[in-house]
Every structure is written in C-alpha cells, then in structure tokens.
C-alpha cells in the first residue's frame, strides 16, 4: 500500500508528463501548420505512449494515456482519430508481405 504523500507525488509527476507531451504535440502542430498541412501523425517513433496496439478482429482502442491526450486535444478544438497505414515486413518464411498498422492523427 502506498502512502498519501507518495500517491500525490505520482499524480503530480503524471500530470507534469501529460503537460510535457501536450507541449510537444503543440510544437509539432505549429510546425506542420506553418508548412501548410492540416494534420500531424503521432507514432511510436515520437514517444512510446503513442504506440497503437490492435488485436485481430477487434476495433482499435485508445490506452488510458492516449485517452487523456485525446480528451485534452478535443477540448482545445482538435480532432483525434486512428488512421491505418500500410508497411512491408518479412513473415516467418522470409517472404515480403504487406501489413496494416495504425497511427494517431491530430487534425485541425
């Protein structure tokens, strides 16, 4: 069991991390908007929290951290959704196959 002080420290650090991620997304949005784009893709190469896990035959779901980010961005007027993309990978036999992955897309 954790103490109340430890729980408060954990909560404050997670809120600070969320604010830091939102600042990072804000700077990415600012850069893409200056380039004339109307969306930015968040993927696991930017931060591991943006990694989208999809189980076969099930819809894509947000993790709790992704849901918090989504709620904050939508309250600021942005649209947040999952978007599929195709990539090539090798299967267990060494054959090159196409696979579908998912990214989080923030648009305005």
The stretch 36-47 carries a mean pLDDT of 86
pLDDT at 69: 92
Q: Determine the pLDDT at residue 37.
A: 95
Residue 7 has pLDDT above 70, yes or no: no
- Is the pLDDT at 84 greater than 80, yes or no? yes
Q: How far is CA 85 from CA 7, 15, 73, 93, in A?
A: 39, 31, 22, 23
Q: What is the pLDDT of residue 48?
A: 79
Confidence of residue 63 (pLDDT cuts 50, 70, 90): confident
Q: 107 versus 12: which is more confidently predicted?
A: 107
């Amino acid at each position: 069991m954790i103490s109340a002080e430890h729980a408060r420290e954990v909560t404050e650090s997670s809120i600070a991390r969320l604010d830091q991620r939102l600042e990072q997304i804000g700077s990415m949005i600012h850069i893409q908007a200056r380039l004339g784009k109307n969306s930015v893709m968040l993927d696991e190469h930017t931060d591991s929290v943006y990694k989208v896990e999809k189980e076969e035959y099930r819809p894509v779901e947000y993790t709790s951290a992704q849901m918090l980010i989504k709620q904050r961005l939508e309250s600021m007027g942005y649209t947040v959704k999952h978007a599929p993309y195709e990539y090539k990978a090798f299967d267990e036999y060494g054959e090159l196959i196409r696979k579908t992955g998912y990214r989080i897309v923030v648009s305005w």
